[in-house]
Chains A and B, each alone.
Chain A
Amino acid sequence: MKINTTARIIYNKQVSNEYWNMKIYLPQIAKQASPGQFLTIQTSKTGSPLLRRPMSIHKLTSTSIEILYKVRGRGTNLLMQVKKGEELQVLGPLGHGFDTDIPFTTAILTGGGYGIAPLKALHDLLKKKKKNIITIVGARTAKLIYKEGFTGVRVSTEDGTAGIKGLLTKALEKACCSNLKGPAAIFACGPDKMLQAVAGVAAKYGLPCQVSLEKMMGCGIGVCLSCACRLEKGGLARVCVDGPVFDAKEIKWNN
């Protein structure tokens, strides 16, 4: 059941030169939430900016949810200023998350830039499930890399300032070619172009691949039809309720 609630901030801190981390006390939402789902947060009480901001669940405990965000515009600027003990309007858990019940023993988590955000909650769940984890963290440049708390990390940057130089798919292919323990599955989040490329690699190596899409949203609950995405079988899906996590094969990528 989706819950619309007022929630207290446990902390809100800068965790790298690019990213902020906010922990929110959300017992009712946390106990139902799963990795890959998201929240929408009202960043302003005065209606400016107007719309709620969708935020993926970065970490999950039984009573709290953490989000990881980059300060990009007015909404995240206001979010950055929220202090411990203050309250925000939060709606969640929204969408459907990663399916971890498929058969695999090694997970290749693939996050491009800010796309790393939802993969931490997934990482923690997979640790509990005793899966082998490889985490590929890619970004344009070293300062955009955030890998706190991940295991089996392989870094890739487009400008070569950290890790393997080139697109993240290069690091991903390398991982796919390595001696993987048992059957593997890819879980990815990032911009559409990156996800399309990741889906291509997954198809090449015959690995199951789940992608979490990022789209501009109006309502977050399936009614405004702003976050539509085309499906391979024809027709449209709503990223906010049918996703944000999809089997990569379902998506009809824009060329």
Chain B
Amino acid sequence: MEQLKVKIGKLILENPVLTASGTFGTGEEFEDFLDLDKLGAVVVKGITLKPRDGNPLPRIAETPSGMLNAIGLQNPGVDIFIKEKCPVFLKYKVPFIVNISGYEEKEYGLLAKKLETVAGVAGIEVNVSCPNVNYRHGMIFAKDPLAVSRITRLVRKNTKKTVIIKLSPEVSDIKVIARAAEEAGADALSLINTISGLAVDVETRRPKIASIIGGLSGPAVKPIGLRCVWQVYNTVKIPIIGMGGICTYEDALEYLIAGAAAVAVGTGNFLDPQSTVKIVDGLKKYFILNKIKNVAQLTGSLRLFNN
């Protein structure tokens, strides 16, 4: 459906529904449930320069309307990923966006460079905001506008592919961070990453996940995601991919109206592996029923009260 097409950086997506990194593997795990080509884009599980075993177990806990996770970026490392996973991307029409994480700033540049020549990789989502990784200098990059700026420039310098910077809501002013990424050359922003949290088992008095603190996701974080999207929409010109608690097409619409150009489904994939395609179908019906000509007509169309 033509009305659903959106442009993110250099990419024209068939529709504004993406998958959130870390909740969709590399897509092949969902082949029994849906046709990947029906999606706007597939954002694959995060990769790092070297292989990572991830965090100790337990890594996940259920919380009210959400879940905490501290997987810790378990992945085979970029070289094996390029060799074993990327060739599969060529089987599909849907663009594949690779999510990258670095432990040090320079690793982002190296990762972008390695992926630059890989066919089938349409874009790079830069994760500067994983709450479950011990960064070299202790603080997640997403909290520091200068670090976000340097990393964005570094990635930009090493790739012509679409660059998306994924930000954390856990900052004193997300507008400042978003602007830093935009000015440094980001094509788009992903908002939001998970929010760090804690859950306690009262019988054992242990944290419910071994790394103590994990990232909260699911419907519990949706209002925070929407708030960030709205604030950033009013600050930058580049498109925003909104995410955080999207399970239904109504959730997706909320994000579009708040200012997102596209959305990504994360935890929703665990609740219903077909939620992405159901959201696409729901949006189609909504667009027809409400005679909406394109996604841009909805993006940021929040009607304010005039008191």
Indicate if B54 sits at the interface (CB-CB under 8 A): yes
Q: Which of A25-52 contact B (CB under 8 A)?
A: 42, 47-52
Please state if B32 and A226 are interface contacts (CB–CB under 8 Å). no
Within 8 A of B (CB), among A208-224: 215-224
Task: Please give, as numbers and ranges, the residues of chain B lying within 8 Å of A1 by CB-CB distance.
Answer: 32
Q: Does B77 contact A (CB under 8 A)?
A: no
> B63 — nearest CB in chain A belongs to which residue?
A50
Q: Are A50 and B274 interface neighbours, CB within 8 A? A: no
* Contact status B54-A47, CB under 8 Å: no
A228 CB to nearest chain B CB (Å) = 6
Q: Which residues of B contact A47 (CB under 8 A)?
A: 65, 219, 247, 271
Interface size on B, residues (CB 8 A): 34
Min Cβ gap B38→A in Å is 15
CB of A188 closer than 8 Å to a CB of B? no
Say whether chain B's binding surface is mostly helix, strand, loop, or mixed. Answer: loop
Contacting pair B62 A49 (CB below 8 A):
yes
How many angstroms between the C-alpha atoms of A45 and B247 in the bound complex?
12
User: Once the chains are docked, how many angstroms separate the CA of A48 from the CA of B215?
Assistant: 19
Q: What total of chain A residues lie within 8 Å of the partner, measured CB to CB?
A: 30
Complex CA–CA separation, A52 to B66 (angstroms) = 12
Which residue among B22, B30, B271 has the maximum number of chain A CB atoms within 10 Å of its CB? B271
**How far in angstroms is the closest Cβ of chain B from A107?**
30
**With contacts A47-B271, A50-B219, A219-B23 known, is A224 near B62, CB below 8 A?**
no
Residue pair B270, A42 in contact (C-beta under 8 Å) = no
The proximity string for A residues 33-76 relative to B, scoring 1 for CB distances below 8 Å and 0 otherwise, is: 00000000010000111111000000000000000000000000
B250 to chain A, nearest CB (A): 13
The answer to whether A51 and B67 touch across the interface, beta carbons within 8 angstroms, is yes
Residues of A within 8 A of B45 (CB): 223, 225
Instruction: Mark out the residues of chain A between 75 and 92 whose CB falls within 8 Å of any chain B CB in the assembled complex.
Output: 89, 91
Docked Cα-Cα span, A2 to B69, in Å, equals: 25
B278 to chain A, nearest CB (A): 11
Q: Are B32's CB and A89's CB within 8 A?
A: no
Q: Which residue of A2, A91, A225 contacts B59 across the interface (Cβ within 8 Å)?
A: A225
Verify B270–A52 contact, CB threshold 8 A: yes
Return the CB mask of B1-41 against A: 1 if under 8 Å, else 0: 00000000000000000000011110001101100000000
Contact A224–B60 (Cβ < 8 Å):
yes
Known: A47-B247, A49-B62, A218-B60. A223 touches B219 (CB 8 A): no
| A228 and B54 in contact, given A4-B273, A89-B272, A218-B270 (Cβ under 8 angstroms) | yes
Q: Determine the chain B residues whose CB is within 8 A of the CB of A48 once the complex forms.
A: 64-65
A224 pairs with B32, CB closer than 8 A: no
Judged by a CB distance under 8 angstroms, whether A236 is at the interface is yes
From B30, B71, B219, B272, A225 is in contact (CB under 8 Å) with B71
A3 within 8 A of B: yes
Give A residues with C-beta under 8 Å from B.
1-4, 42, 47-52, 89, 91, 215-226, 228-229, 235-236, 241
13 pairs across A/B with beta carbons < 8 Å?
A1-B32, A4-B274, A42-B272, A49-B62, A91-B273, A219-B270, A222-B25, A224-B22, A224-B69, A225-B59, A226-B69, A228-B57, A229-B57
Further 7 A-B residue pairs, CB within 8 A, beyond A219-B269, A221-B29: A4-B274, A51-B271, A215-B57, A217-B60, A223-B45, A224-B22, A236-B74
